[in-house]
Structure formats: structure tokens, C-alpha cells
């Protein structure tokens, strides 16, 4: 009897693990598939999602996003660009400030760049952007980020009442093992949000 119970419990556990792996795999594929689409079109504004900066200079990841944003601006698809991202403890600059400086140096008029240096994660930055867009009476925007990040950005935008058009950079330096890790991290965040919500995940991570 004990042996039978153990066998059933083992089989049940195996099914649970298999189901979890299937769900995780499908989520990764969903994120990957979404990131392959470029939905760039005319919009009042584009939002560049923040990434690391180093002592006032954009990281290669942030630079790739900014270069893509400049291309969209030069094509005349948007009239304004919002840069996002706060700072880490000890930083002199914010990601948003560094991004704005870079855009101006690459031909975007200062008056057309709005720096929104708020947020320690994607949700916090997006929530702040939603407030800025509301003040400016913008309801839709192009969101520029990496391919693996666009799905989560779209999900959060939808929850915040923003109509988003994803336009991922095609020149991201993140490749190989690092890219696989990022896709797995994104899948974990998306699945976690389905249970707890993006806002609560942010609160649990940062405490506010």
C-alpha cells in the first residue's frame, strides 16, 4: 500500500513538473514571438525603456535602444521622445538623463525630449510614463526596448491604459547565453505577474 502511494505521488509530481516546464516553455515562446514584430507607426510619442549607464555614458544596451529611437524620430513617426529610468545607489546620473543627452547629441532637439528619471524597474518607470502621457494628453506611444523585453512592456502598458506599439531594436548587443538568461528571466516575471500582478511584484522587490 505504501509502495503504491509512493508510486502515485511520484507520478503526480512528475506530471506537475512536466506541466510547469510546458507552461514555462510556452511563455518563453510567446515572449520571443512577440518580440519579432515591429509595430512602429505614427504616434504622438515614443518611449525608450531605460538600461544601465556608466558614469554618464549609456551602456551598449541603452545605446542600441537610443539609436533605434533616433531612427524612428528621423522617419517622422513621432514628435516627442520620453526617456526613462532612475539611478542606482551611488550613481551621479539617471538612465533617463543620460539617454536624453545622447539623443540631443544625435540630432534630436532638446525641446522634443522629455526626461522621466523615475523608477527602479519596468513597472515603476511605466507607471511614471503613464502619468506624463496623461498630462500631455497622449494615449498611445511607440515603446522601444530589446526584443525579449517588449512583451512585458506591452502587458504593463495595457494595464496602465496605454495603447502601445512595440518597436524593438535590432542591434542589441545581448546575445548567446546572456540572451537565453534574459528570456528565462522575462518568462519568470510574466508568469509571476499572472499570479501577483506587476505592481505587487514591484512592491515586493523594492518595498514601495
Report residue 98 as a C-alpha cell.
543620460
pLDDT single digits (tens) 49-103 = 999 999 999 999 999 999 999 999 999 999 999 999 998 777 789 999 999 999 9
Chosen CATH of 35-206 out of 3.40.50, 1.20.58, 2.40.50, 2.20.28? 3.40.50
Report residue 154 as a C-alpha cell.
506591452
| pLDDT band, very low/low/confident/very high, at 21 (cuts 50, 70, 90) | very high
Domain boundaries, the chain: 35-206
Q: Which residues pair with 80 in a beta bridge?
A: 45
| pLDDT band, very low/low/confident/very high, at 31 (cuts 50, 70, 90) | very high
Report residue 133 as a C-alpha cell.
502621457
pLDDT single digits (tens) 130-155 = 999 999 999 999 999 999 999 999 99
3-state secondary structure 172-192: CCCCHHHHHHHHHHHHHHHHH
3-class DSSP assignment, residue 140: strand
What pTM, to 2 d.p., does this model score? 0.91
| pLDDT band, very low/low/confident/very high, at 18 (cuts 50, 70, 90) | confident
193 pLDDT more than 80: yes
Q: What is the model's pLDDT at position 3? A: 72
Amino acid at each position: 500500500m505504501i509502495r503504491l502511494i509512493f508510486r502515485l505521488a511520484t507520478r503526480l509530481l512528475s506530471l506537475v513538473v512536466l506541466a510547469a516546464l510546458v507552461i514555462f516553455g510556452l511563455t518563453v515562446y510567446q515572449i520571443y514571438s512577440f518580440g519579432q514584430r515591429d509595430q512602429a507607426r505614427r504616434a504622438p510619442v515614443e518611449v525608450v525603456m531605460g538600461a544601465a549607464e556608466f558614469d554618464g555614458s549609456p551602456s551598449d544596451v541603452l545605446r542600441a535602444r537610443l539609436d533605434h529611437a533616433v531612427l524612428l524620430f528621423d522617419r517622422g513617426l513621432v514628435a516627442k521622445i520620453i526617456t526613462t529610468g532612475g539611478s542606482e545607489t551611488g550613481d551621479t546620473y539617471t538612465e533617463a538623463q543620460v539617454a536624453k543627452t545622447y539623443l540631443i547629441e544625435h540630432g534630436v532637439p532638446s525641446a522634443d525630449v522629455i526626461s522621466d528619471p523615475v523608477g527602479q524597474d519596468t513597472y515603476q518607470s511605466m507607471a511614471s510614463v503613464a502619468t506624463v502621457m496623461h498630462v500631455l494628453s497622449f494615449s498611445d506611444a511607440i515603446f522601444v526596448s530589446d526584443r525579449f523585453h517588449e512583451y512585458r512592456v506591452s502587458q504593463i502598458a495595457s494595464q496602465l491604459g496605454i495603447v502601445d506599439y512595440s518597436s524593438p531594436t535590432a542591434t542589441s548587443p545581448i546575445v548567446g547565453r546572456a540572451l537565453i538568461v534574459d528570456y528565462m528571466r522575462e518568462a519568470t516575471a510574466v508568469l509571476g505577474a499572472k499570479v501577483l500582478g506587476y505592481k505587487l511584484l514591484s512592491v515586493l522587490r523594492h518595498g514601495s
